[in-house]
Amino acid sequence: MSRLSATAQLEKIRAAKLKLEKEEQRLMSRNHDKTLAQIVQLAEKAGLSAAQISAAMGVKGKAKSSKAAGSKPAKTKRATAGKKVAPKYRNPADAHQTWTGRGRTPLWVQALQNSGNLASAEIKAPA
């Protein structure tokens, strides 16, 4: 009786793991199907529509498919990305320090916010 090589053993373990993962997915899917059926039945008894349920959950548009449940939304470029913006705040203690109101809040702005004096640092637009 010959022994399996390490590579062959690993392949055998990987195949068994894949088989177990597929079985897990099948069982989870069956469980989800039963749960969804119960939810639909309860909603029908209560006279709720899918739109009402979605609105109560804060979902806009179509419901996500189960495949996309764990995926991240695609990043989109903003129209304002990379464009220069005029500063909205100037540090009263150091006139060279300004902030546009975007991005990370500078420490001097945080200090003004905490003291309730942020309005004093606003740069007034010329009339």
For the stretch 8-23, pLDDT in tens is 899 999 999 999 999 9
Q: Going by C-beta distance under 8 Å and a sequence separation of 6 or more, which residues neighbour residue 109?
A: 89, 99, 118, 121
Domain containing residue 110: 89-121
pLDDT of residue 105: 92
Q: Indicate whether 54 and 97 sit together in one domain.
A: no
Query: Cα-Cα-Cα-Cα dihedral of 88, 92, 93, 99, to 10°?
Result: -10
Burial 87-107 (b: 16+ CB within 10 A, else e): eebbbeeeeebebeeeeeeee
Q: Indicate the number of domains in the chain.
A: 2
Residue 79 lies inside a defined structural domain of this protein: no
pLDDT of residue 68: 52
Checking if the pLDDT of 97 tops 60, the result is yes
Q: Indicate whether 57 and 10 sit together in one domain.
A: yes
Residue 126 lies inside a defined structural domain of this protein: no
Could you tell me the two tokens for 94? Answer: 């150091």
Taking the whole predicted model, whether its pTM rises above 0.75 is answered as no
Residue 70 lies inside a defined structural domain of this protein: no
Q: Indicate whether 54 and 10 sit together in one domain.
A: yes
Q: How confident is the model at residue 61 (pLDDT cuts 50, 70, 90)?
A: low
Residue 69 lies inside a defined structural domain of this protein: no
Residue 127 lies inside a defined structural domain of this protein: no
User: Are the C-beta atoms of 103 and 81 separated by less than 8 Å?
Assistant: no
